[in-house]
């Protein structure tokens, strides 16, 4: 059963990574515009959106 | 759907343009400086619905010199622009958006609003933490259950319990905050809301489990406690999102007041200032297309003003020096200089806003289905838990065992399904309605709509299109039509717009000049052409001046008559018929004169009507019906309808309506048709049925599960299975398509 000593921390670590990623998406406001996000994928002129600096 | 650069103004898929070209206030007063040397400007854009809009607006704004980026939030309509101060002109940005066909106004969110937005994110974080904890604890719980038969050593089980506790305790402490706080606040007021049994169940389950873990017991409820929080937080978050739409409405009303005005200083310079900074006595310039920010008096200029939003009157009125101006009127033809008579908070608009708020407070007394269910549910749950505790003590069980049973009862009865029952159905119904062209702004509006028995309809702009349409186009030759269009393209008068929009873009007459209240004249091919009132245009004494007619007079040619009518909306009659077929009483309230009001009721088949009503009289009528115990749906569009919309049990507005009435209404119909009214009623009734079904299911589930818990048969595994399956069934039931829809 010593394998558990590696597996449990590994599982928890990966889950925490997922949680951390989710927290990051919330903090950066990626759920603020659920309506716009689904339409944005249809915009195929991404390059034109950026004004060269 | 094409998202190419096209000539279409407004949304290419739904509705079309909602603003006239150039109709935008200068938002300079709302530009904020940033730390990075760049300035930020937030604008509220209305009428944007799809990828085409998104691309058009962002590209259009991005192309302006000095603008670094423009990003549009399609859910809220907020356009965030980053610009170089001094290089990009905020006025040009606003005009660009208006020229693309969208209504635009400065965005000035209140502090309270931003707070609530933070709460939404907080709920989402709580949900994520609870979900993360629930999944990981389940990993250990399932292992323990699987090892029940004795393969697992006691030390391993203890380790797993400790690991579960390590995850569950901090996770519950964080994710349970929304419930603990609300329960605490409610207890302090001496009441018990739904959050009290939830908090109690979670705390008791955690306490018992911790005790079991320390003493090396067999059963722990860590997974159940955290899963409970997870499911409930989903319901809370959905509910919060539904209410978010209502917040949007309040914000739109705010942004209407956050408009700007052009104020003239003593030395003659004109500055853009916030409307709220205007003091009585200030001199304000109203360009054609501007909306009067405050009540005032004309000191210079003559022009036609659109009063439709203020009084419901369909024809524009002429104002000259000395005439009063009410806030909300739109200047149409010529520059006006007005002297402010009141501050914004003392103006008509603010008065209407207060009436709207009063109506909304009254409506706040409506008790939602879920809350009614909770009121019945909470005492039962508590009694049951206490009874099973005392019952087991009397039966001779130890305190430890009795507490374990009471915790199991609380967990199993916990209203997971109840918490999801209403919001899950409502969010699905709101989504379906959105696809059918109805924007629902308040989640409980669907519940209120399902109960209505009386429908009140406004005339101008609601049953009718609210703008004149040329009805004798087939009697006018193309040449004369083009001639008229050359003149009308220079004018903002509604009759001119009707002709210009019909003919389409083209050249304009030379030396075109508009005489407010009379007509337009200009030079075409060397000939002087006039379009306007019969006596002014020179149509001769033999023609009679006709209500909304225009005469086109060219030197040496026969005068041509253009006849206009405020046409009924497509399928207005069908909608009324559909309402009657659904057993609803239909009545028309109009601010217009008797003759047009009667004509309209006759055409659509309404028998009851009232006319020449002031906004106050409209509210009185609504309140009288409500006092009679009627459940009233009000459909209206004008600024004058806004208070009545707020006073009704539930209300609908139209996308082309005044901002204030859209803000006051629970639902907004997109597009030109009225048939979505029927769809909304059908869907709301179906949704109500579905919610009751879900409650019924939750009750049935409890009649089976509660006895099991009371008699001590519930193990942590059974609790976990029962809770998750009931929540999933309720959610699936919400997602099931509504039957028998589509007929109108």
Give me the CATH number covering residue B76. Answer: 3.30.70.100
Band of pLDDT at residue B360, cut at 50, 70 and 90: low
Query: And the tokens for B633?
Result: 């749906």
The CATH number that applies at residue B457 is 3.40.50.1000
Chain A residues in contact with B125 by the CB 8 A cut-off are 23, 26
pLDDT digits (tens, 9 = 90+) for B575-598: 899 999 998 999 988 877 787 788
Where does a domain end: B635, B659, B685?
B685
CB contact under 8 A, B69 and A51: yes
Backbone angles phi, psi at B346, to 5 degrees: -100, 0
pLDDT tens digits along B520-537:
888 887 788 888 887 777
Burial of B262 (0-12, 13-18, 19+ CB in 10 A): middle
Phi, psi of B216 (to 5 degrees): 75, 30
Residues of B (129-188) whose Cβ lies below 8 Å from A: 129, 132, 135-136, 139, 153, 156, 163, 167
The DSSP output letter for B455 is E
**Residues B497 and B601 placed together within one structural domain of the fold:** no
B695 found inside a domain: no
In a domain, B606, yes or no: yes
Which residue of chain B has the CA closest to A18?
B132
Distance to chain B for A18, nearest Cα, Å: 8
* B59 belongs to a structural domain: yes
- CA distances B300 to B283, B291, B305, Å, are 10, 17, 14
Q: Which domain holds residue B631?
A: 430-465+568-685
Which of the residue ranges B560-564, B601-605, B682-686 has the most confident prediction, judged by mean pLDDT? B682-686
Indicate whether B458 and B551 sit together in one domain.
Answer: no
The partner residue sitting opposite B3, judged by closest CB among A33, A42, A51, is: A42
The verdict on B589 and B490 lying in the same domain is no
Q: What is the mean pLDDT of chain B?
A: 79
**Do B535 and B640 belong together in one domain?**
no
- Exposed (0-12), middle (13-18) or buried (19+): which is B298, by Cβ within 10 Å? buried
Using CA atoms, how far apart are residues B572 and B588, in angstroms rounded to an integer? 12
Tens-place pLDDT, residues B90-136: 888 888 888 887 877 776 655 555 666 678 888 999 999 999 999 89
Minimum mean pLDDT range among A31-45, B188-202, B497-511: A31-45
Q: Would you state the pLDDT for residue B228?
A: 87
What span, in angstroms and rounded, lies between the C-alpha atoms of B727 and B125?
Answer: 21
Tens of pLDDT along B391-430? 999 988 888 888 888 888 888 877 677 778 888 888 888 8
Structural domains in chain B (count) = 4
Average pLDDT of the segment spanning A18-42? 82
Residue B626: pLDDT over 50: yes
By C-alpha distance, the chain B residue nearest A1 is B156
Answer yes or no: is pLDDT of B709 > 60.
Answer: yes
Nearest to B334 by CA among B363, B301, B361: B301
Question: Does B579 lie in the same domain as B452?
Answer: yes
| pLDDT at residue number B309 | 60
pLDDT band at B257 (very low <50, low <70, confident <90, very high): low
How confident is residue B158, by pLDDT bands cut at 50, 70 and 90? confident
Nearest-CA neighbor of B727 among B707, B687, B705, B698?
B698
pLDDT at residue A44 in the model: 65
**pLDDT at position B125:** 92
Is residue B635, in this structure, part of any structural domain at all? yes
Read off the pLDDT of residues B138-151 as tens digits, 9 standing for 90 and up.
888 888 887 766 66
Which of these three, B107, B142, B159, is where a domain ends?
B107
User: What pairing do the DSSP bridges indicate for beta strands B650-654 and B39-46?
Assistant: unpaired
- B308 and B442 housed in the same domain: no
Q: Contact B128/A19, CB-based, under 8 Å?
A: yes
Same domain, B560 and B457: no
pLDDT (tens digit, 9 = 90+) per residue, B335-348?
A: 888 888 887 766 66
- Beta-bridged to residue B587, according to DSSP, are B456, B608
Q: What is the CA radius of gyration of chain B?
A: 31
Residues of A with CB under 8 A from a CB of B: 1, 4, 8, 11-12, 15-16, 18-19, 22-23, 26-27, 31-36, 39-40, 42-43, 45, 48-49, 51
Examine the pLDDT at B460 and tell me if it is beyond 60. yes
Q: How far is B24 from chain A (nearest CA, A)?
A: 24
Residue B280 has pLDDT above 80, yes or no: yes
Kindly state the percentage of chain B with pLDDT values over 70: 84
Statement to judge: residues B586 and B529 lie in one domain: no
Interatomic CA distance for residues B239 and B233, integer angstroms: 10
Closest CA to B230 of B161, B192, B179, B187: B179
> Is B225 part of a structural domain of the chain?
no
Cβ atoms of B477 and B657 closer than 8 Å: no
Q: Are B504 and B536 members of one domain? A: yes
Taking the C-alpha atoms of residue A24 and residue A44, their distance in angstroms, rounded to an integer, is: 26
User: In this structure, what CATH number is given to the domain that contains residue B550?
Assistant: 3.40.1110.10
**CATH number (domain holding residue B331):** 2.70.150.10
Strand stretches in B204-331, DSSP E: 260-264, 270-274, 283-286, 296-300, 303-306, 317-319, 324-325, 330-331
Identify the pLDDT of residue B177.
92
Domain assignment present for residue B200? The answer is: no
Q: Which of B565, B598, B627 is the last residue of a domain?
A: B565
Indicate if B536 and B575 belong to the same structural domain: no
Whether B253 has a pLDDT exceeding 60, the answer reads no
Query: In the 8-state DSSP scheme, what is residue B329?
Result: -
pLDDT at residue number B109:
55
């Amino acid at each position: 059963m010593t394998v558990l000593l590696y597996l449990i921390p590994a599982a928890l670590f990966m889950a925490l990574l997922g949680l951390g990623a989710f927290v990051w998406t919330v903090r950066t406001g990626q759920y603020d515009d659920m309506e716009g996000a689904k339409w944005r994928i249809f915009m195929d002129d991404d390059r034109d959106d950026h004004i060269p600096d | 759907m094409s998202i190419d650069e096209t000539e279409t103004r407004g949304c290419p898929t739904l509705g079309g343009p909602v603003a006239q070209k150039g109709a935008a206030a200068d938002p300079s007063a709302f530009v904020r400086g940033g730390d990075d040397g760049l300035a930020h400007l937030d604008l509220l854009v209305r009428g944007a619905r799809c990828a085409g809009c998104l691309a058009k607006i962002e590209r259009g704004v991005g192309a302006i010199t000095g603008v670094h980026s423009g990003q549009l939030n399609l859910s809220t309509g907020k356009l965030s622009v980053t610009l170089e101060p001094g290089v990009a002109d905020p006025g040009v940005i606003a005009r660009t958006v208006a020229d693309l066909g969208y209504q635009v106004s400065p965005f000035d969110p209140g502090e309270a609003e931003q707070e609530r937005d933070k709460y939404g994110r907080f709920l989402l974080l709580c949900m994520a933490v609870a979900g993360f904890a629930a999944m990981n604890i389940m990993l250990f719980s399932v292992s323990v259950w699987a090892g029940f038969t004795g393969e697992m050593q006691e030390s391993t089980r203890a380790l797993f319990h400790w690991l579960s506790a390590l995850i569950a305790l901090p996770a519950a402490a964080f994710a349970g905050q929304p419930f603990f706080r609300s329960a605490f606040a409610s207890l302090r007021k001496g009441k018990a809301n739904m959050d009290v049994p939830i908090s109690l169940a979670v705390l008791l389950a955690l306490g018992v489990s911790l005790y079991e873990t320390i003493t090396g017991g067999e059963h722990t409820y860590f997974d159940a406690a955290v899963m409970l929080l997870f499911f409930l937080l989903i319901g809370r978050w959905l509910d919060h999102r539904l209410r978010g739409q209502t917040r949007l409405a309040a914000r739109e009303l705010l942004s209407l007041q956050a408009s700007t005005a052009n104020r003239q200083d003593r030395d003659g310079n004109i500055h853009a200032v916030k409307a709220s900074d205007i003091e009585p006595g200030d001199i304000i310039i109203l360009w054609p297309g501007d909306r009067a920010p405050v009540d005032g008096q004309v000191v210079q200029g003559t022009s036609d003003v659109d009063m439709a939003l203020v009084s419901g009157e369909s024809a524009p009125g002429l104002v000259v020096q000395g005439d009063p101006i009410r806030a909300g009127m739109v200047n149409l033809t010529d520059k006006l200089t007005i002297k402010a008579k009141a501050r914004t908070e003392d103006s008509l608009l603010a008065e209407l806003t207060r009436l709207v708020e009063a109506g909304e407070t009254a409506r706040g007394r409506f008790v939602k289905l879920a809350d009614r269910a909770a009121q019945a549910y909470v005492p039962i749950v508590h009694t049951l838990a206490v009874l099973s505790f005392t019952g087991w003590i009397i039966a001779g069980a130890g305190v430890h065992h009795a507490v374990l049973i009471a915790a199991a009862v609380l967990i199993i009865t916990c209203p997971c399904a109840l918490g999801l029952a209403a919001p899950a159905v409502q969010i699905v119904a709101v989504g379906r309605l959105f696809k059918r062209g109805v924007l629902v702004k308040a989640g409980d509006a669907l519940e209120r709509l399902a109960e209505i028995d009386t429908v009140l309809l406004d005339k101008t702009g609601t049953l009718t299109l609210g703008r004149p349409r040329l009805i004798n186009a087939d009697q006018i030759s193309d040449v004369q039509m083009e001639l008229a269009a050359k003149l009308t393209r220079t004018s903002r008068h509604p009759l001119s717009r009707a002709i210009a929009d019909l003919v389409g873009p083209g050249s304009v007459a030379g030396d075109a000049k508009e005489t407010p209240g009379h007509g337009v004249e200009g030079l075409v091919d060397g000939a002087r052409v006039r379009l306007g009132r019969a006596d002014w245009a020179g149509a001769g004494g033999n023609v009679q001046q006709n209500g909304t007619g225009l005469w086109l007079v060219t030197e040496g040619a026969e005068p041509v008559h253009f006849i206009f009518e405020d046409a009924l909306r497509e399928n207005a009659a069908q909608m009324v018929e559909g309402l009657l077929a659904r057993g609803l009483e239909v009545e028309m309230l109009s601010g217009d004169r008797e003759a047009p009001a009667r004509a309209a009721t006759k055409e659509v088949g309404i028998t009851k009507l009232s006319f020449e009503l002031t906004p106050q009289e409209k509210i009185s009528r609504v309140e009288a019906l409500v006092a009679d115990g009627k459940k009233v749906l009000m459909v209206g569009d004008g600024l004058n309808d806004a208070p009545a919309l707020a006073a009704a049990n539930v209300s609908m507005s139209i996308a082309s309506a005044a901002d204030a009435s859209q803000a006051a209404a629970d639902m907004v119909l997109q597009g030109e048709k009225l048939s979505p009214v029927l769809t909304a009623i059908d869907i709301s009734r179906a949704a109500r049925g579905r919610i009751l079904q879900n409650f019924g299911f939750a009750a049935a589930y409890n009649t089976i599960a509660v006895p099991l818990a009371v008699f001590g048969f519930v193990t942590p595994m059974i609790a976990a299975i029962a809770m998750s399956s009931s929540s999933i069934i309720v959610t699936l039931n919400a997602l099931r398509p509504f039957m028998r829809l589509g007929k109108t």
